[in-house]
Amino acid sequence: MMSLRFFSLAFIASGALFSDAGGAETPASQSCQSAAAGWSIIETANFRFCARSKFSLPPKTLSAVEELRDRLTAKWSGKPSGGVAWQPKCDVILHGTPAAYLRAVPGGGKTLGSSVIDVANDAVIARRIDIRADQPGWFDGVLAHELTHLVLADLFPGSRVPAWADEGMAVLADPAGKQDAHLRDLWIAHSQRGSFRLTELLAMEDYPSPDRHAAFYGQSASLVHYLVERGTPEQFVQFVQTGVERGYEQALRDIYRLNGVAELEHRWRQHANAVGALAVRERRLNVD
């Protein structure tokens, strides 16, 4: 039986949330097993919110999570979720202290959230999100980003979404301020000639070294945003799927009518430079 495990961590760096490979070593399937095991649990159609102490969530928060899942599914698939429930449900572990979070997510010292997906025989067998619920704004600042990763896993059964695309799509679910911080990171990397050539970025099978994380997340987010605006979110997913199967040169011709990666590089860099210059003029980026 083939088994795969995909992770994402939501970090804070340069004032922004971004994701990285790594993640919780606790199996997703072992999370919040039962009230008898000491968990306090609140369930919805697709989620189980769990904590080690008694807690409550307003009904509007619970319905907002379901609506967010449906919205993300419709955005990237081009189709409504259709009421198809996740089986198994996604466990959302709410940690009340940094220490409790770190016990579940080793190595996540600077993170606020983590997502884990367990896959066997091309089927998801466990979904899990760990969140530092002691931090304010975890719903908007962490959950939407991590939930995007889980929604995208359904669109790429049996394989991992390329890291640059996975992270770039998840960033689009972040609040505007965090997206601006990614833009700042890209602007700094570009001004210092530390950004990636697109041939390098698209060919990456994993995440870069830590010293290039900021450039990687900023550039991934910018590239995804550019391509999504050029077409539709659904087209972008088709582009990535085609790129994985047949190569990005062909995918660019088929989906965007661009003459390969070289033309994309030229057009994207023009776009990124214009957006960065505008943001500096509007004082949204501090590059000093």
* Residues 170-224: tens digit of each pLDDT: 999 999 888 888 888 888 888 888 889 999 999 997 889 888 888 999 999 999 9
Nearest CA to 239 out of 161, 171, 170, 167 is that of 161
Are residues 19 and 95 both part of a single domain?
Answer: yes
112, 135, 160 — which closes off a domain? 160
Is there a contact between 94 and 139 (Cβ–Cβ < 8 Å)? Answer: no
| Percent of the chain whose pLDDT exceeds 90 | 46
- Any domain includes 245: yes
Are residues 148 and 184 both part of a single domain?
Answer: no
- Any domain includes 121: yes
Answer with the residue of higher pLDDT: 52 or 107: 52
pLDDT classification of 30: cutoffs 50, 70, 90: low
Question: How much is the pLDDT for 7?
Answer: 55
160, 191, 225 — which closes off a domain? 160
Give the whole-angstrom CA distance, residue 103 versus residue 22: 14
Are residues 175 and 249 both part of a single domain?
Answer: yes
- Any domain includes 116: yes
Are residues 151 and 17 both part of a single domain?
Answer: yes
Question: How much is the pLDDT for 17?
Answer: 35
Is there a contact between 261 and 219 (Cβ–Cβ < 8 Å)? Answer: no
Mean pLDDT for the stretch of residues 158-170: 90
Are residues 149 and 212 both part of a single domain?
Answer: no
pLDDT classification of 109: cutoffs 50, 70, 90: confident
Are residues 62 and 183 both part of a single domain?
Answer: no
Are residues 147 and 169 both part of a single domain?
Answer: no
Point out the least confidently predicted range of 10-14, 170-174, 227-231.
10-14
Give the whole-angstrom CA distance, residue 108 versus residue 282: 34
Are residues 49 and 122 both part of a single domain?
Answer: yes
Answer with the residue of higher pLDDT: 34 or 266: 266
Question: Which range has highest mean pLDDT (14-23, 73-82, 275-284)?
Answer: 73-82
Predicted TM-score (pTM) of the model is 0.85
pLDDT classification of 70: cutoffs 50, 70, 90: very high
- Any domain includes 208: yes
Are residues 182 and 270 both part of a single domain?
Answer: yes
- What is the three-class DSSP state of 185? helix
pLDDT tens digits for 270-279? 988 887 666 5
Are residues 219 and 110 both part of a single domain?
Answer: no
Give the total number of structural domains in the chain.
2
142, 160, 178 — which closes off a domain? 160
Are residues 236 and 111 both part of a single domain?
Answer: no
Are residues 199 and 120 both part of a single domain?
Answer: no
On average, the pLDDT of the chain sits at 83
Segments forming the whole domain that contains residue 191: 165-281
| Percent of the chain whose pLDDT exceeds 70 | 82
